[in-house]
Amino acid sequence: MVNQNRLVQSFMSLGLIDGIHGNELDIAKHLTKTLESLGLEVIMDDAGKTYGGNAGNLIARLPGTSDAPSIFLCAHMDTIQSTKGLKHIVKDGMITTDGTTILGGDDRAGVAVILEILTILREKKVEHGPIEVLFNVCEEAGMYGAKFIKPSALNSEFGFVFDCQASPGAYIIEAPGAVAFNIKVHGRSAHAAVSPEKGIHAIQIASKAISQLQLGRWDETGMLNIGTIKGGTSINVIPDLVEITGETRNANKEKLQYQIEYIRKAFDVAAKEFGGSVEIQFIEKYGGYQFDENTPVIVAARQGITAAGFEPRPICYPGGSDANVLNNNGLAALNLGVGFKNAHSFQECIAVADLVGAARIGLNVVLQCAIAEKSEKITA
């Protein structure tokens, strides 16, 4: 039932509306009109006020036509960079750009998929349960839109996020929590030529600590990275301060805590060895999650993916999304593969077949949820 031409045109039209994180008002206005034309009641919340944005999340509701559990469908409106001047190229079944802008597939592809699902339900008069739509703001800059949403804002116990680079059929059962860190290494300044022995070299302390760290991948969702190093004042002065930023991730809470203590110990030991000191601040960016394959949202997804003619593929994904925040806020949210590739770059692209496949899966997930008259029937 997916109309390929309509879906492709919808996706490309959405990409032409500039809406970088914090500046989503134009795309929000467009989507409000579109959703209302499809029979949904739409409100905008106050999420934008919490971070200085010009728009909030859109929360829309479509009444059910059958006695089925309410579910939500989610995608984010913002893009990582501007799409102003976007020129689409459609060739050999791929949608790309001319290489001067991003495509905006992350996550306008997810938005287009949800709009196509809603359009089909309306035009084909397909029976379905109540549907809530979340079009979130500021996912790319810290998931601030999703962080504003509380379970009380929705009637649904679970739902589906369309924001994953994996191909249709994949769904994320494990995604990491992320913790950023800021470390200040304190030494003691001195003249590097006249009295170097009076100094305590902050860069030396930092270098020793970093050399002890296992940077890069730890496991499927675990990682550790040093992102920036800043310090020193002159080539003939022993530096007394170095500032370091980085982050570490893991889906497993115990492993993530171990990685935090691992970082702390490396810097504490190095500082003690050279007579300096350190200040370490850890800041949680978002929590991780691990799904059991028998949870209702997973079962519903597998049923929908299979009904759409795809092979269900559970994956562990090292990146974060609104699903992380929603799950940690008490709303079971499963991120489904949409198929955009090379996100956050001018090489971003999406196959028409993947865009259509994601819409087919989303539609069948909605239909499979509607088959069950009660949520208890969506079980293993």
Return the pLDDT at 371.
81
How many CA atoms lie within 13 Å of 148's alpha carbon, on the beta-carbon side?
Answer: 24
Whether residue 17 contacts residue 26, with contact meaning beta carbons closer than 8 Å, is answered with: yes
Q: How far apart are CA 378 and CA 305, in angstroms?
A: 14
Segment 76-101, tens digit of pLDDT: 999 999 999 999 999 999 999 999 99
For the cut 60, the answer to whether the pLDDT of residue 379 exceeds it is no
Residues 331 and 302 in one domain: yes
Residues 132 and 197 in one domain: no
Amino acid at 68: A
Confidence of residue 66 (pLDDT cuts 50, 70, 90): confident
Return the pLDDT at 263.
98
* Residue where one domain finishes, among candidates 286, 317, 348: 286
Residues 59 and 116 in one domain: yes
Residues 39 and 132 in one domain: yes
* Residue where one domain finishes, among candidates 255, 286, 317: 286
Residues 343 and 271 in one domain: no
Return the pLDDT at 374.
44
Return the pLDDT at 203.
98
Domain span at residue 201 reads 177-286
Residues 212 and 110 in one domain: no
Structure tokens at 198: 């009076």
Average pLDDT over residues 256-277: 98
* Residue where one domain finishes, among candidates 286, 301, 332: 286
Candidate list 18, 24, 78, 322, residue with the active-site label: 78
Return the pLDDT at 67.
86
Q: How far apart are CA 330 and CA 283, in angstroms?
A: 21
Return the pLDDT at 372.
62
Return the pLDDT at 349.
98
Q: Which of 83-92, 213-222, 365-374 has the lowest mean pLDDT?
A: 365-374
Say which CATH number the domain at 133 has.
3.40.630.10
Mean pLDDT (the chain, rounded): 95
In the chain, the number of structural domains is 2
Residues 170 and 183 in one domain: no
Residues 59 and 154 in one domain: yes
Segment 287-334, tens digit of pLDDT: 999 999 999 999 999 999 999 999 999 999 999 999 999 999 999 999
Return the pLDDT at 9.
98
Catalytic status, residue 78: yes
Candidate list 18, 107, 116, 139, residue with the active-site label: 139
In the chain, the percentage of residues whose pLDDT exceeds 90 is 95
Return the pLDDT at 370.
87
Query: How wide is the angle at C-alpha 178 spanned by C-alphas 183 and 257, nearest 5°?
Result: 75
Whether residue 107 is preceded by a cis peptide bond, meaning omega within 30 degrees of 0, is yes
Structure tokens at 194: 């006249």
Catalytic status, residue 373: no
Residues 154 and 182 in one domain: no
Residues 26 and 169 in one domain: yes
Q: How far apart are CA 246 and CA 228, in angstroms?
A: 7
What is the residue-wise DSSP string for 236-293? TB---EEEEEEEEEESSHHHHHHHHHHHHHHHHHHHHHHT-EEEEEEEEEE--EE--T
For the cut 80, the answer to whether the pLDDT of residue 60 exceeds it is yes
Average pLDDT over residues 273-290: 97
Say which CATH number the domain at 186 has.
3.30.70.360
- First vs last C-alpha separation in the chain: 28
Residues 307 and 272 in one domain: no
For the cut 60, the answer to whether the pLDDT of residue 375 exceeds it is no
Whether residue 77 contacts residue 137, with contact meaning beta carbons closer than 8 Å, is answered with: yes
Confidence of residue 164 (pLDDT cuts 50, 70, 90): very high
Return the pLDDT at 376.
45
Q: How far apart are CA 337 and CA 110, in angstroms?
A: 9
